Amino acid sequence: MDFFSDYTMTIEGAGVSSAKTFDAVNPATEAVIAAVPDADRAIFDRAVASAKRAFPAWSEKPWRARQDLVSKLGDLIEQNAEDFIRLLTMEQGKARAGAEWEIGGSVAWCREIAKQALEPDMVENTDGRTVETSRTPLGVVGGITPWNFPLLLAVWKVAPALVAGNTIVLKPSPFTPLCTLKFGELTRGVLPAGVLNVISGGNELGEWMTRCEDIRKISFTGSTATGRKIMASASGNLKRITLELGGNDPAIVMPDVDVQATAKELIWAAFQNSAQFCVAAKRLYIHEDIYDALAEALVEYARTVKVGDGLQQGVDLGPIQNAMQFEKLKDLLADSKKNGHRFLLGGQIEDGPGYFVPVTIIDNPPEDSRVVTEEAFGPVLPLLKFRDTEDVIRRANDTEYGLAASIWSADADRARNIAQRIEAGTVWINEIHTFSPHVAFGGHKQSGIGIENSLHGLAEYTNSKTIVTNRMAPVS
């Protein structure tokens, strides 16, 4: 199997090409690296029909049999890790360390989700009468994944969907389809035909998925704007949805932290994966007592971070993944310059190939400025000064988003009190970006609906069924 050519979709356990293709582009060079099959309506219908045919036999397999096969998917990724890492860097742009983190995480998620099961709940068991609630699979699931972590977030959907007994039609982002297509190719002959179908295409393909009567659930990771459209479209047949959407995550730094040590943590909290991360620290609130010292330490450390082609040795952060997002960031930076914001670092985009944006830090812009209120999804970080706790909690919560947040303090109890008042699905204290297949992840407000990971997330791929049995025959 060649990871770097011959990209085909996977339907009913076999490779499928299409008459129409689109280009996959390396964001570090802007060079076309592959022709990607573009599914038409007939191909989409074939994929859904394949998944629908495979569902009865797959759903009837014992949990243990499904778990074993999902665990084998992790083995397949691990056996091809080096090729996945290189291909991921070529199509997404991330540097070696980030690619290793994503591919290693994909292996771990397959293996750990494969250990999960939803046991029946015996609510009542008395003489002659039982009440038992169990979980049953939904049917065909549609998975739609983003371009920032293309393989890992595909696994976040595939693994629980399959373990729970569903079949799946998976659509990767058209910006980063290659690793997902190769993942589908690897599963041929391992999974029963039709259990996992991988098809590639643009926005029209996503719209077909959300409207399709035979798809019982959509699991989507992406922007809040697109999530709203999916929710509206899925309402036509009350399709189940899990939406993991945007965020504008605050980080709050109290005056008792070790400034130098915390600065290093905060740089990666904000800029990991070139800040193309739904849970990146996007607004950094710093207590006024340490604001100047921490700002200086952040700039000093950020100067050591190397931005470049992720395939090159020594590079820490790669480019922005696509031209559309690159242009949005250029516009955001232009707005800050027009409004006279003070740049402590970066802000100047150099001419040349590649969608490169330097690590950029902005000094205490107004709270209502675009660089504060919008999700940049790129390496642009506003530093914001605060004086008292009540004020910073109010400001942190003053957003339509509620995905995640972090609190940094030597007083963990005080930090926890603050965390309890932050409107977000995950709040980290003195760490960030730690995830687990066994820990629930989901957003509040406009950051999403539903849960991924943990038994809570697994349950989202099921219906509940209660069976009440009265063993006492009616008196004749």
Task: Classify residue 458 as left (phi > 0), alpha (psi -120 to 50) or beta.
Answer: alpha
- Cα angle 222, 154, 180; round to 5: 110
- Residue 335 contacts residue 362 (beta carbons within 8 Å): no
Helix axes 178-187, 63-79, angle to 10 degrees: 120
- Residue 321 contacts residue 92 (beta carbons within 8 Å): yes
Measure the CA–CA gap between 441 and 279, rounded to whole angstroms: 11
CA dist list (Å): 275 to 87, 249, 268: 20, 11, 9
- Residue 285 contacts residue 250 (beta carbons within 8 Å): yes
Residues forming beta bridges with residue 218, ordered by sequence position: 142, 241
Amino acid in position 472 = M
Structure tokens at 445: 């407000």
Structure tokens at 324: 């559309």
DSSP of 420-456, one letter per residue?
A: TTS-SSEEEES------TTS-B--EETTEES-BSHHH
The H or E element that residue 272 is part of is none
Residue reference for tokens 């983190």: 101
* Eight-state DSSP code of residue 256: T
DSSP of 181-241, one letter per residue?
A: HHHHHHHBTTBPTTSEEE----HHHHHHHHH-TTEEEEEEES-HHHHHHHHHHHGGGT-EE
* Strands laid side by side in the 121-126 sheet: 121-126, 129-137, 462-470
Residues forming beta bridges with residue 470, ordered by sequence position: 129
Number of C-alpha atoms within 13 angstroms, CB side, residue 118?
23
Task: For 36, list phi and psi in degrees, rounded to 5.
Answer: -110, 130
Measure the CA–CA gap between 267 and 13, rounded to whole angstroms: 44
Residues forming beta bridges with residue 427, ordered by sequence position: 405
Amino acid in position 174 = P
Strands (E), 387-425: 401-402, 404-408
Measure the CA–CA gap between 131 and 133, rounded to whole angstroms: 7
Catalytically active residues, by annotation: 244, 278
Measure the CA–CA gap between 141 and 323, rounded to whole angstroms: 30
